[in-house]
Structure 1
Amino acid sequence: MRVLRGRDPRPAADREHTSTLLADAGDGTPGLRVWTPPRQFAFGRRDARDPGFERAKRLAADRGFEPIERDVGGRAVAYPGDALAFAHAVPLGDRGGPGSIADRYERATETLLEALRGLGADVSPGEPPESFCPGDHSVRVADGGKIAGIAQRVRGDAALVAGCLVVTRAGAREIADATAAVYDALGVPFDSNTVGSVAAAGGPERPNSVVRALEDAFVDGPWGDGDPRIDRIDRDG
């Protein structure tokens, strides 16, 4: 499996690397990227159509989060600088990929749970009511706050399974504060007490440790081949 590693701070970098992963998956090569996005608020397509969108972007910027728009579905997500994003591109159809959206969601959730439990985190599937980026495919601290959400983007020859993951307690507090303001502007119900973190679940408070655990879990998981082929993408900007 092709694994992208490194820092690329360019504004268009995430879309560029995601497009590369999808193109390679369409040709039969699965790929993965797990990274720490810069401080930003990523808005989904539904958010961009909301009448409160411009106000929501201003509120995010006022709190030091750069507003951006992302291709996958789901509601807006805050990245405080120490949260993680992951993107896993898998071939479809006659190239051997899993056949249904539901299958991919289930396998991605199980892979994420396995990786976090291996780090000592007490986590379970699901989310409390009025969480950030609400959805059916989430991971939470056991009996606690949400720490991850998963979304998909599907095209004819490949699918992208992507998600966000809150790692630190400090990051969770920043996400809760900024999301409360942004979701209020968008008219989305949100309870700031529902934001958890890997650290709050008993796992590490070091994003790099979680990055490697996620990489290993996906490379060795149901879509991987156990062989990480590392491609460095480091750039100065």
Structure 2
Amino acid sequence: MRVYRGRGDSIEADRAVSDRVVERVAADREPAVRVWRPHPQVAFGRRDARVEGYDRARELADERGFPPVEREVGGRAVAYTGATVAFARVTPVADSRSGLRVRYDAATADLLDALGSLGADAREGEPPDSFCPGTHSVRADCGGRSRKLAGLAQRVRADAAVVAGVLVVRDHAAIASVLDPVYAALDVPFDPGTVGSVARAGGRTDPDAVVDAVAGALVGDAAGDASVQRVG
């Protein structure tokens, strides 16, 4: 298994890295894991691009120092601050119609293991009106209420499947601040108080330590055969 660390020099270069990882897995049939800290941005989902307030939402993100981009996987807008951790496990597939739930369950379990190793007590699920609402999420009870730490999405091609996600490390206030007006423009219910973080859940606040823990959990039993590739 190949493990990719680091990021490209720009948002565009960084996205190109992710595309190349998928193409390589599809070509050589060897699974890969990528864990990194994306450049600050708000990444909008395909559903966002179809609503009336999309252009205004993009403007609001840009005004706050978060360049707007569109992502290929499903879900609603997510924000990255530079400390936020993104992760993806790419596996070759022979039948794109099977394995969806298995891949989601495995990635969620691995993420929970990583969070436990960081000292954060998390579990599957999410509070109402949280960012990027969806079935496959991770939450923690902190500060007297349930807060979302991570969301996962999946993209399946004929030759490869990508389970990807975003994990808030310590930047919950910044993410809540930018997503509040963005979601209002998109007319999507959002409660800024539901944004959690590893730090808010009592875990380690060093983003690099979080990258290490998530990468190790996603690689799992293949760690002995993993080769690390540095990006950027």
Q: TM-score, normalised by structure 1?
A: 0.92
CA distance in 1, matches of 2:10, 2:81: 17
Conserved in 1, the CA contact under 8 Å of 2:6 and 2:35? Answer: no
CA distance in 2, matches of 1:157, 1:28: 9
Deviation at 1:176, TM superposition (A): 0.7
- Per the alignment, residue 47 of structure 1 pairs with 48
Conserved in 2, the CA contact under 8 Å of 1:219 and 1:226? Answer: no
- Per the alignment, residue 179 of structure 2 pairs with 179
- Per the alignment, residue 14 of structure 1 pairs with 14
- Per the alignment, residue 232 of structure 1 pairs with 230
- Per the alignment, residue 93 of structure 2 pairs with 92
% identity of equivalent residues: 52
Conserved in 2, the CA contact under 8 Å of 1:41 and 1:68? Answer: yes
Conserved in 1, the CA contact under 8 Å of 2:11 and 2:39? Answer: no
- Per the alignment, residue 215 of structure 2 pairs with 215
TM-aligned CA distance change 1:216 to 1:35, over 3 Å: same
CA distance in 1, matches of 2:20, 2:192: 36
CA distance in 2, matches of 1:5, 1:103: 25
Q: Deviations over 1:74-106 (max 9, x none)?
A: 100011221111111111128xx9941111111
Q: Deviations over 1:156-207 (max 9, x none)?
A: 1110010000000xx1001111111000000000001100000111111110
Conserved in 2, the CA contact under 8 Å of 1:21 and 1:30? Answer: no
Conserved in 1, the CA contact under 8 Å of 2:32 and 2:90? Answer: yes
Q: Deviations over 1:34-61 (max 9, x none)?
A: 1111111001111111111100001001
Match for 1:39: what amino acid? Answer: P
Conserved in 1, the CA contact under 8 Å of 2:11 and 2:38? Answer: no
Alignment of 1:139-178 (within 5 A): 139-142=138-141, 144-168=146-170, 171-178=171-178
Q: Deviations over 1:122-148 (max 9, x none)?
A: 101100000000000000113521010
Structure 1 portions without partners, runs of 5+: none
Moved more, 181-190 or 13-22: 13-22
- Per the alignment, residue 69 of structure 2 pairs with 68
Structure 2 portions without partners, runs of 5+: none
Aligned length: 228
Report the 3-state secondary structure (helix = DSSP H, G, I; strand = E; otherwise coil) of the residue aligned with 2:146.
coil
Please report the RMSD computed on the Cα atoms of aligned residues, expressed in angstroms. Answer: 1.7
Q: TM-score, normalised by structure 2?
A: 0.94
TM-aligned CA distance change 1:213 to 1:225, over 3 Å: closer
Report the 3-state secondary structure (helix = DSSP H, G, I; strand = E; otherwise coil) of the residue aligned with 1:57.
helix
Report the 3-state secondary structure (helix = DSSP H, G, I; strand = E; otherwise coil) of the residue aligned with 1:162.
strand
CA distance in 2, matches of 1:77, 1:182: 10
